[in-house]
Amino acid sequence: MIIYLLLNVVSFAAYGIDKKKAKMDKWRTPEATLLALAFFGPFGAYAGMLVFRHKTQKKPFTWMVPLFMIIHVVVFAFLAFF
């Protein structure tokens, strides 16, 4: 559970760092990397999208991050009941 929490914290931080770099016109984190982080830590990624208002207009992010969240909820529910 601690590892899962850390993955979400890392995802959240990555979205914040990328937003800061975008404002400063510096080297950016590739979108594929942000989506991979969202796959493993979707709640942190979604929170990062909302808090930093980052990647909220990009189509892949608007549907993939919520999809990853749903997948995680379903997997956790499955593990909890079976």
What are the phi and psi torsion angles at 31 (to 5°)? -60, -35
Longest dimension (CA), the chain: 48
The pLDDT value given to residue 82: 86
CA atoms within 13 A on the CB side of 10: 15
**Structural domain of 60:** 2-81
Q: What is the pTM of this model?
A: 0.92
Per-residue pLDDT of the chain (82 residues; tens, 9 = 90+): 999 999 999 999 999 999 999 999 999 999 999 999 999 999 999 999 999 999 999 999 999 999 999 999 999 999 999 8
Q: Provide the domain count of the chain.
A: 1
The pLDDT value given to residue 15: 98
The pLDDT value given to residue 2: 97
